Structure 1
Amino acid sequence: MHRRHLMDSPDAPSVAKASFRYPDWVMLDPHTRLNYPVPTIDSDYPMEDFHATKAHAETSMGDPIDVFFRAVPPPGASRLYVNWTPRRFTKGSSSSSGAGRGEDRWDGFYGREPLVLAANGNSILLRLTLSNTRVDFFVYTVHSTGPPSLLRLPDCKLRFSNSCLRSGGLDHMVTLGNIGFLCDAESEEFVVADLMILPKHDDASHHDDTPVVAGLCIFRSCSPGEDWKASKPRICHKEGQGGELIWWHTDVVVPHGVSLCYIDYFRGILFLDILSKCPRLLYVRLPLMNPVGDPYDSETGRGCPSAFRSVCVTNGGTMKFVEVVTRTVFLSGSQSAAASSFAIKVWRLREHGMTWEKESTIQDTELWSLQGYGDLLRVPPTFPVVSMTNPDVIFCVLSNGCFGDANVTWVIAIDMLKKTLRSAFRYKKVHRNSIENDGNMASASLSTNRAFIPSQLSKYLGVTGARRKRRNLG
Structure 2
Amino acid sequence: MTVPFEDPMYWQHHDIFYFPVDYLVYSCSSSSSSTSSPPSLTALPPCFHGGVTDPELDDFFRPYRRQQQRIMFDEEMGILCHGDNGEFTVAHLAHGSDGLELCLLHHPPPAGAPAGWSLSTLQLPPDNKINLHSWRTDVVVVPTDRCLCWVDYYQGMLLVDVLADTPDQQQPHGIRLPAQALKSRRIYKDAGDPDPFRCVCVTDNGSIKLVCIFVKDSFSS
Identify whether the pair has TM-score above 0.5, normalized to the shorter chain.
yes
Q: Which runs of 5+ in 1 are unaligned?
A: 1-29, 32-58, 62-88, 95-110, 112-130, 162-169, 201-212, 331-474
Indicate the SS of the match to 2:213. strand
Which whole-Å CA distance do the structure 2 matches of 1:225 and 1:60 have between them? 26
Cα deviation per residue 1:69-126 (whole Å; 9 max; x = unaligned)?
xxxxxxxxxxxxxxxxxxxx334787xxxxxxxxxxxxxxxx9xxxxxxxxxxxxxxx
Is structure 2 residue 113 aligned with structure 1 residue 220? no
Which whole-Å CA distance do the structure 2 matches of 1:273 and 1:234 have between them? 14
Judged with a 3 Å threshold, the aligned counterparts in structure 2 of structure 1 residues 229 and 329 are, in CA distance, closer, same or farther, namely farther
Is structure 2 residue 64 aligned with structure 1 residue 178? no
CA contact (8 A) 2:80 2:88 kept: yes
Is structure 2 residue 140 aligned with structure 1 residue 253? yes
**Of 41, 57, 77, the match for 1:150:** 41
Which whole-Å CA distance do the structure 2 matches of 1:302 and 1:247 have between them? 13
2:64 is matched with which residue?
A: none
**Of 187, 195, 203, the match for 1:314:** 203
RMSD: 3.5
CA contact (8 A) 2:188 2:195 kept: no
**Of 122, 139, 156, the match for 1:233:** 122
Judged with a 3 Å threshold, the aligned counterparts in structure 2 of structure 1 residues 138 and 230 are, in CA distance, closer, same or farther, namely same
> TM-score, with normalisation over the residues of structure 2?
0.69
Cα deviation, residue 263, structure 1: 0.6
Cα deviation, residue 229, structure 1: 0.5
Q: Which runs of 4+ in 1 moved over 6 A?
A: none
Aligned residues: 184
Could you tell me which amino acid in structure 2 is paired with residue 226 of structure 1?
A
2:50 is matched with which residue?
A: 159
**Of 182, 185, 191, the match for 1:289:** 182
Which whole-Å CA distance do the structure 1 matches of 2:205 and 2:19 have between them? 41
Which whole-Å CA distance do the structure 1 matches of 2:114 and 2:159 have between them? 27
Indicate the SS of the match to 1:177. helix
> TM-score, with normalisation over the residues of structure 1?
0.34
Cα deviation per residue 1:125-177 (whole Å; 9 max; x = unaligned)?
xxxxxx9752111111123213111111111111189xxxxxxxx95343222
CA contact (8 A) 2:18 2:69 kept: no
Which whole-Å CA distance do the structure 2 matches of 1:93 and 1:247 have between them? 28
Answer with 1 or 2: which has the greater Rg: 1
Which whole-Å CA distance do the structure 2 matches of 1:270 and 1:149 have between them? 31
Alignment of 1:345-360 (within 5 A): none
Could you tell me which amino acid in structure 2 is paired with residue 177 of structure 1?
E
Indicate the SS of the match to 1:219. strand
Cα deviation, residue 328, structure 1: 3.8
Indicate the SS of the match to 2:132. helix
Is structure 2 residue 169 aligned with structure 1 residue 271? no
Cα deviation, residue 261, structure 1: 0.4
Q: Name which structure has the greater RCO, CA cutoff 8 Å, separation 6+.
A: 1
Cα deviation per residue 1:360-388 (whole Å; 9 max; x = unaligned)?
xxxxxxxxxxxxxxxxxxxxxxxxxxxxx
